[in-house]
């Protein structure tokens, strides 16, 4: 049986967590403030603490320091309804055992408590890392999806593990990489970002590894590569799926042995850097296709963080808009403009195929047109079409477009008739044309791919007036 100390100014939270502790076979005491919690801790030393961040008087992060002084190493599970990257990093760096955001499932807290109460193996010692300053203008998000990202960034920053960031273009993978670097022990070293898709295949090896004088025609002077420039810091390899196979072996050796062999050199150069990679592609599929080495894949993808697309976290749009407006106002030395509620509602409805990058561009476009006045819907640029990735529109983006069309059609009082038939007339011809074009006008293979009888396909083509040729 263990004793838990629950610190939260919401009575319902304290009651629920106390009952949970009883169900787990433990005892619990509660406090509504940090000051009360210190008194409770002195009366009965807790084996674990569940601590809210926002408290009357002293906040939870400051209370963590005092608990450390009073109790020594005691696992603290931080809970908050105001999660952000700054809070997550500070909590983890000050020694928080776990970080849970409200509203939470009791079973999730139960799992955290069970882990916190497990005996520490002999010889193991938990020492919180020093807190570093966190820039406030890096990653913005209050959604549960972004809370999970913040937590994983906070957890992995203190380690030396290779991190792989996966997400669509424009979701902020480089911002996440910079945050990991800044909160790592290498934050005094360089952060070297390399977009591998932009490198010329013929020069990629020289750009990454450097070269000695005379290594090839035009190499009149020796040159350090990106890997050497990252010594003592972090190397961010963006679009890592585009590394040529011929270079992947050399990169793997550099990571495994901590040394770089410049083009034309006989001796390797010792290096020490952490690698963070990113791509919008599915790297595991690239491995299965033989386009990416499996050994390099396992070396890079030690710890993976998926950055969610903006359309899956529309609740982050308003804080992002406010963030971008303040950045642009400071950049242009102008007051922060107001945004109409109608405009914000419209921004939340759009699918944002270009993700956060597209949203920022839209806000900058709107501020230029508004000229300091309130930003309204007419100041927004037209939405961009769905982006094509690996030859296919993302299913979520397509579904979002269909929903927008349906909502607009239903809102038009002048429209009547069979809405489903209207939808078929709009979508089916373009779909059939694309499939038929792929098979060069041949009905038989097109029908097989569609799962239709050839006669049925011909009837549909006649119905929509589609020429097989």
Q: What is the mean pLDDT of residues 427-453?
A: 84
For residue 224, count CB atoms less than 10 angstroms from its CB and return exposed for 0-12, middle for 13-18, buried for 19 or more.
middle
Q: What is the mean pLDDT of residues 4-29?
A: 92
- Cα separation of 212 and 161, whole Å? 31
Full set of structural domains in the chain with CATH:
3-116 (3.40.50.2300), 144-306 (3.40.50.300), 316-412 (1.10.8.60), 417-469 (1.10.10.60)
Q: What is the mean pLDDT of residues 74-96?
A: 78
pLDDT digits (tens, 9 = 90+) for 148-166: 899 999 999 989 999 999 9
- Cα separation of 441 and 443, whole Å? 6
pLDDT exceeds cutoff 60 at 453: yes
- Cα separation of 172 and 376, whole Å? 26
Q: Can you give the pTM of this predicted structure? A: 0.65
Banded model confidence at residue 412, pLDDT cuts 50, 70, 90: low
- Cα separation of 150 and 281, whole Å? 22
Banded model confidence at residue 136, pLDDT cuts 50, 70, 90: very low
pLDDT exceeds cutoff 70 at 66: yes
Banded model confidence at residue 36, pLDDT cuts 50, 70, 90: very high
Helix and strand totals (H; E) in the chain? 19, 14
Q: What is the mean pLDDT of residues 314-337?
A: 87
Question: Is 436 strand, coil or helix?
Answer: helix
CB 393 within 8 A of CB 386: yes
The more confidently predicted of residues 411 and 71 is 71
Banded model confidence at residue 133, pLDDT cuts 50, 70, 90: very low
pLDDT exceeds cutoff 60 at 347: yes
**Quick one: pLDDT at residue 82?**
64
pLDDT exceeds cutoff 90 at 192: yes
**Average per-residue pLDDT for the chain:** 83
pLDDT exceeds cutoff 50 at 397: yes
């Amino acid at each position: 049986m263990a004793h838990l100390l629950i610190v939260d100014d919401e009575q319902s939270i304290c009651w629920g967590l106390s009952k949970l502790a009883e169900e787990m076979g433990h005892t619990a005491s509660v406090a509504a403030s940090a000051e009360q919690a210190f008194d409770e801790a002195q009366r009965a030393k807790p084996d674990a603490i569940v601590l809210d961040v926002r408290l009357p008087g002293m906040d939870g992060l400051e209370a963590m320091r005092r608990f450390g002084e009073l109790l020594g190493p005691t696992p603290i599970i931080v809970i908050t309804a105001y999660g952000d990257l700054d809070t997550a990093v500070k909590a983890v760096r000050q020694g928080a055992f776990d970080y849970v955001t409200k509203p939470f499932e009791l079973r999730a807290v139960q799992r955290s408590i069970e882990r916190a109460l497990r005996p520490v193996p002999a010889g193991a010692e938990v020492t919180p890392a020093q807190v570093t300053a966190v820039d406030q203008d890096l990653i913005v998000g209050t959604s549960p999806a972004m809370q999970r990202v913040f937590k994983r960034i906070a957890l992995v920053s203190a380690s030396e593990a290779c991190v792989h960031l996966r997400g669509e273009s424009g979701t902020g993978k480089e911002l996440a990489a910079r945050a990991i670097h800044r909160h790592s022990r290498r934050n005094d070293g360089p952060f070297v970002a390399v977009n591998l898709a932009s490198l010329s295949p013929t020069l990629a090896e020289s750009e990454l590894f450097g070269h000695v004088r005379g290594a090839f025609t035009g190499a009149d002077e020796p040159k350090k590569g990106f890997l050497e420039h990252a010594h003592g810091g972090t190397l961010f390899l963006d679009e890592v799926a585009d590394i040529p196979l011929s270079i992947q072996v050399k990169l793997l050796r550099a990571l495994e042995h901590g040394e770089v062999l410049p083009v034309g050199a006989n001796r390797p150069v010792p290096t020490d850097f952490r690698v963070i990679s990113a791509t919008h592609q599915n790297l595991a599929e690239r491995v299965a296709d033989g386009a990416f080495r499996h050994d390099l894949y396992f070396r890079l993808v030690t710890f993976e963080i998926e950055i969610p697309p903006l359309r899956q976290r529309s609740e982050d749009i308003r804080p992002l808009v406010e963030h971008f407006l303040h950045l642009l106002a400071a950049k242009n030395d102008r007051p922060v403009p107001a945004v109409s509620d109608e405009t914000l509602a419209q921004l939340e409805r759009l699918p944002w195929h270009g993700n956060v990058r597209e949203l920022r561009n839209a806000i900058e476009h709107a501020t230029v047109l508004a000229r300091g006045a309130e930003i309204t819907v007419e100041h927004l640029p037209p939405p961009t079409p769905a982006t094509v990735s690996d030859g296919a529109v993302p299913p979520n983006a397509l579904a979002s477009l269909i929903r927008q069309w349906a909502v607009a059609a239903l809102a038009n009082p002048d429209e009547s008739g069979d809405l489903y038939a209207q939808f078929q007339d709009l979508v089916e011809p373009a779909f059939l044309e694309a499939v038929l074009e792929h098979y060069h006008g041949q009905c038989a293979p097109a029908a097989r791919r569609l799962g239709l009888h050839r006669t049925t396909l011909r009837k549909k083509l006649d119905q929509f007036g589609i020429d097989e040729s």
